[in-house]
Amino acid sequence: CSWNPDSLHHLPVHPLWQSPLTIPGGTRQSPINIQWRDSVYDPFLKPLKISYDPATCLHIWNNGYSFLVEFDDSTDRSIIDGGPLENQYRLKQFHFHWGAINDWGSEHTVDCKFYPAELHLVHWNAVVYPTFEEAVMEGDGLAVIGVFLKLGARHEGLQTLVDALPAVKHKDTVIEFDVFDPSCLMPSCPDYWTYAGSLTTPPLTESVTWIIKKQPIEVDEDQLEAFRMLLFTSDGEEEKRMVDNFRPLQPLMNRTVRSSFQ
Ligand SMILES: CCCCCNS(=O)(=O)c1cc(S(N)(=O)=O)ccc1C(=O)O
Ligand SMILES: [Zn+2]
């Protein structure tokens, strides 16, 4: 994607992303542009199996970078399996990245196209690693499902989450959120791309098997605006709207993006 100088104005300025944009020696950093025609169909990729227990939902937390919906990951009640994965992975949290305006906001791009927002469901390999913190440091430790959000019809399932956001407007606020099934945020089409990548926030460890759904879900303008009403800042600090919380694109280097579809 050719960034002409005037397009750099949208590079995120939040301190988090002023950290090294690529870690020294990083060979599998995220996010990346997915060039559709360069992705390789892999007939051995299995369908992704998702089974979430809505009762494992715990709370919503504004951590000053995004808002996280966190789950009880002490058992295997909410898991994914299949796809490119060799084990089942436990759901820990999901969060979003979005822009100040609808022209950008996603972390991954498809043929250099940004979506207004991107959902990430973070899972960890509890079969092999005893804790999430240890899995974060291992090449097969995490699996993150990415779902693009596009402007369109109101998403009824997302609305229950949107209605709770005013209660977590400020950094370090949390609200109990005890029943939510993230499956409602999945597109109907099973197709996905997958590649070996990294966390897109510190510690940026190269521990993520990314599974990016081909089909976006639709949300409406009011729902995107509800994200943009959140703040990076704590109560009492000068308000900074939580927008443009996405990391810049990283070099593909020696990686192939595989597709589950032809
Ligand atoms: C032990 C340190 C964990 C740091 C990463 N935590 S995480 O849940 O994997 C995560 C992933 C991601 S991402 N975009 O999926 O890489 C973003 C934020 C967070 C977060 O914790 O805020
Ligand atoms: Zn993310």
pLDDT digit string, tens, across residues 248-258: 999 999 999 99
Q: Of the candidates 12, 65, 17, 15, which has an alpha carbon nearest to the alpha carbon of residue 171?
A: 65
SS3 call for 255: coil
156's torsion region: left (phi>0), alpha (psi -120 to 50) or beta?
A: alpha
Tokens found for residue 105: 């906001």
Average pLDDT value over all residues in the chain:
94
Task: Determine the average pLDDT of the residues in 90-107.
Answer: 98
Share of the chain above pLDDT 90, in %: 90
* Cα(97) to centroid(ligand 2), Å: 6
Q: Is the pLDDT of residue 147 over 60?
A: yes
pLDDT for res 6: 44
120 lines ligand 1 (CB under 6 A): yes
The neighbour count for residue 237, using CB atoms within 10 Å, is 11
Rounding to the nearest 10 degrees, give the CA dihedral for residues 122, 126, 129, 134. 30
Tokens found for residue 204: 């940026």
Q: Is the pLDDT of residue 5 over 90?
A: no
DSSP 241: B
Task: Report the distance separating Cα 86 and Cα 72, nearest Å.
Answer: 22
Closest listed ligand to the CA of 95: 2
Task: Determine the average pLDDT of the residues in 86-92.
Answer: 98
**H/E element, 79:** strand 79-82
Taking a C-beta distance cutoff of 8 angstroms, is the pair 200, 192 a contact?
no
Task: Report the distance separating Cα 258 and Cα 262, nearest Å.
Answer: 10
Q: Which atom of ligand 1 is nearest to the CA of 203?
A: 4
Task: Determine the average pLDDT of the residues in 203-230.
Answer: 98
pLDDT for res 15: 57
Q: Is the pLDDT of residue 9 over 60?
A: no
**pLDDT tens, position by position, 101-124:** 999 999 999 999 999 999 999 999
Q: Which atom of ligand 1 is nearest to the CA of 66?
A: 22
63 lines ligand 1 (CB under 6 A): yes
Task: Determine the average pLDDT of the residues in 180-198.
Answer: 98
Q: Which atom of ligand 1 is nearest to the CA of 208?
A: 16
Q: Is the pLDDT of residue 223 over 50?
A: yes
199 lines ligand 1 (CB under 6 A): yes
**H/E element, 249:** none
In the chain, the amino acid numbered 5 is P
Closest listed ligand to the CA of 210: 1
**Confidence label for 146 from pLDDT (cuts 50, 70 and 90):** very high
